[in-house]
Amino acid sequence: MIKLSYKSGILLMVFAFVLSACKNEEKTYSEAEIAAASLDLNDYFDEQFERDVAESPMMQTRLGRKTNYGQWDDISHLKYAEDLKKAKERLEYLEKIDVEALDEQTLLSYRLYKQQVKNEIEDYDFRFYNYPVNQMFGYHAELPAFLINMHRIDSVSDARAYISRVEAIPEVVDDVIANIKIREQNGIVPPTFVFDKVIEDSKNLLKGKPFKESRELSVLYGDFEAKISKLDLDENQQENLKKEIGEVLTKKFEPAYKKLIQELENQQKRSSSDAGAWKFPKGKDFYTRALKRSTTTDLTADKIHELGKKEVKRIHQEMREIMKKTNFDGSLQDFFEFMRTDEQFYYEGSEGRERYLKEATALINTMKTKLDNLFITQPEADINVKAVEPFRERSAGKAFYQQPAPDGSRPGIYYANLYDMKAMPTYQMEALAYHEGIPGHHMQLAIAQELEDIPEFRKYSSYTAYIEGWGLYSELLPKEIGFYNDPYSDFGRLAMELWRACRLVVDTGIHAKKWTRQEGIDYYKQNTPNAESDAVKMVERHIVMPGQATAYKVGMNKILELREMAKTKLEDKFNIKEFHEIILANGAMPLNILEERIKNYIEENK
């Protein structure tokens, strides 16, 4: 031990204090330095975005690009390790960035990108915790749907690229089969019911010409023929192209799908009826993480479950008020049965389907005329309403939205599933159109990808609580400006919100509390006016997408909470258009960062 004199000790203490102060003194940057550092980082973000796009022929097509037009993405299990390595490289780069040298927007991009990279690294251990083939978004249906909805044919070259993609299906299917085998080895096998649905969808793709002599055209052959018929080609050229697509469908596509069907039938024999993620190895940890990713909060399964029950109770009471307005005599359950069965609320047959699409389009067009009162930034891209394709309508969800192409070559599409018209009552038509179309997902997602002065990755980021929270908020917003004049339609809005509240209860019930599939179906039937087919589809969706459905109500509640906060603190300075601008004009983000931005908006305007 070395002893120091009192004076020497004091001098050393002073020296240490000065040295520490020098180290802790924050460096200040000039405006030019901040601009240069921000530009460099934004260039990095765009370089990495283009790197990802270059590895994804399918993303290139979604963006309207025709590079690698005849190819598919690499979906092999080896890609996970490559992506992990890339994510670690990115995190290492970001850790070296001095955030004090960034402007406000670039700092936001930095935080969002860094969190995405960290999530990717943290989630690697659960990379096999999903079902690559399922009734909601399985590869068996997504590959043909991609060709139908994304692959444009504007030339002979585009047609040959379509043929090349069909010809390459066997390699993709082999990867799909390898992926489901790896998952089975890891204890990740879908419940038995999933196999029935995906096998049926797969077999549907093998019906009609050219797989057998028939006046009926198979799904892909019909799509290809319809697209090339619009080209300026002579009859001989068209026949040659149809012959080529016919050959690759019978020699490549059909054997590949039969192989997939055989593998699915084989794995089904070893499946069980167990529905929840609790059955997986580390299932509880996986589901906790799934909730965190879906809601972008730290809400536990128990808290989400109780929130759901509380919201169900509240909405039931609001529905009783509507019963009074309609002079209905009976209980809430009686009213549910009336709404389920009365013919005035349902369209039938092909004429009914056409009418539904026409009226949903009219609702969206009417809402367009009110946007100036609610929004500053509005989308340039248009939106179409379309029925879900027949080959997948039986298993697909009730409604969903597909983003437009950034170059304007493809509009946004609101898909309505008209397979079972009893599951699409007219009293829910308004709320569905507002959610999927305007002011819902189309406003939100089209605006995001049309934003300027932000890196490309932010235009396509996906945070379910933000995206679906906005969609559900968009069902309520029209009521506040005078829509839903028909009390039955307003009941439909409440029925849709009630549906999302029930999701909180059932999702957590299945995955955290070991509810069976039937228990989930029964909860929906007892607490909502929806058709039983709705309840079945919803529960089956919960089962294959753990946690996802909890994001809607959590996200909506947060947006309403933030709006109420802004109204209370800003009083007469509150502006609904400015509030919506803060939410929409920066792209998707986690709820905690959205809250920060609203609080900053409040402070700046108090």
Nearest to 502 by CA among 519, 514, 484, 489: 519
The answer to whether residues 164 and 292 belong to one domain is no
pLDDT at 3: 39
Token pair belonging to 13: 């203490």
The answer to whether residues 355 and 486 belong to one domain is yes
Ranges of the chain whose pLDDT falls below 50: 1-24
The answer to whether residues 262 and 306 belong to one domain is no
pLDDT at 25: 53
Q: Strand pairing partners for 412?
A: 383
The answer to whether residues 101 and 213 belong to one domain is no
> Would the pTM count as exceeding 0.85?
yes
The answer to whether residues 247 and 295 belong to one domain is no
In a domain, 228, yes or no: yes
Coil, helix or strand at residue 452: coil
In a domain, 281, yes or no: no
In a domain, 564, yes or no: no
* Ramachandran category for residue 599: left, alpha or beta (phi over 0 → left; psi -120 to 50 → alpha): alpha
pLDDT at 576: 98
Query: For 312, what's the count of Cα atoms within 13 Å in the CB-facing half-sphere?
Result: 21
- Amino acid present at 175: D
Long-range contacts of 600-605 (CB under 8 A, 24+ apart): 601/566, 602/565, 602/566, 602/569, 602/570, 605/570, 605/573, 605/578
Q: Strand pairing partners for 415?
A: 386, 400
Q: Are 524 and 509 in contact (CB under 8 A)?
A: no
Token pair belonging to 382: 């248009």
CA 206, chain centre distance (Å): 29
In a domain, 397, yes or no: yes
Parallel, antiparallel, or unpaired for β 383-387 and 399-402? Answer: unpaired
The answer to whether residues 415 and 450 belong to one domain is yes
What distance in Å separates the CA atoms of residue 22 and residue 38, rounded to the nearest whole number? 26
In a domain, 146, yes or no: yes
The answer to whether residues 336 and 267 belong to one domain is no
What distance in Å separates the CA atoms of residue 200 and residue 218, rounded to the nearest whole number? 14
pLDDT at 147: 98
Dihedral of CA atoms 461, 382, 349, 323 in degrees, nearest 10, equals 70
pLDDT at 327: 96
Token pair belonging to 192: 């038995």
pLDDT at 391: 81
Nearest to 366 by CA among 442, 444, 437: 437
Q: Are 241 and 228 in contact (CB under 8 A)?
A: yes
In a domain, 565, yes or no: no
Report the run of H or E that residue 415 belongs to, with start and end.
strand 412-416
Backbone φ and ψ for 459, nearest 5 degrees, come out as -75, -20
At 144-178, the pLDDT tens digits run 999 999 999 999 999 999 999 999 999 999 999 99
Q: Are 424 and 397 in contact (CB under 8 A)?
A: no
Q: Are 264 and 198 in contact (CB under 8 A)?
A: yes
What distance in Å separates the CA atoms of residue 606 and residue 603, rounded to the nearest whole number? 5
In a domain, 360, yes or no: yes
Range of the domain at 259: 139-273
Domain-terminating residue out of 228, 246, 273:
273
What distance in Å separates the CA atoms of residue 492 and residue 182, rounded to the nearest whole number? 43
Dihedral of CA atoms 401, 436, 396, 211 in degrees, nearest 10, equals -40
| Distance between first and last Cα of the chain | 60
At 264-274, the pLDDT tens digits run 999 999 999 99
Domain count, the chain: 3
The answer to whether residues 98 and 165 belong to one domain is no
In a domain, 569, yes or no: no
The answer to whether residues 299 and 175 belong to one domain is no
The answer to whether residues 115 and 184 belong to one domain is no
Q: Are 132 and 180 in contact (CB under 8 A)?
A: yes
pLDDT at 396: 80
The answer to whether residues 531 and 440 belong to one domain is yes
The per-residue pLDDT of the chain, averaged, comes to 94
Domain-terminating residue out of 537, 557, 577:
557
The answer to whether residues 434 and 336 belong to one domain is yes
Domain-terminating residue out of 273, 300, 316:
273
In Å, what is the CA distance from 490 to each residue of 219, 312, 385, 436? 38, 16, 22, 17
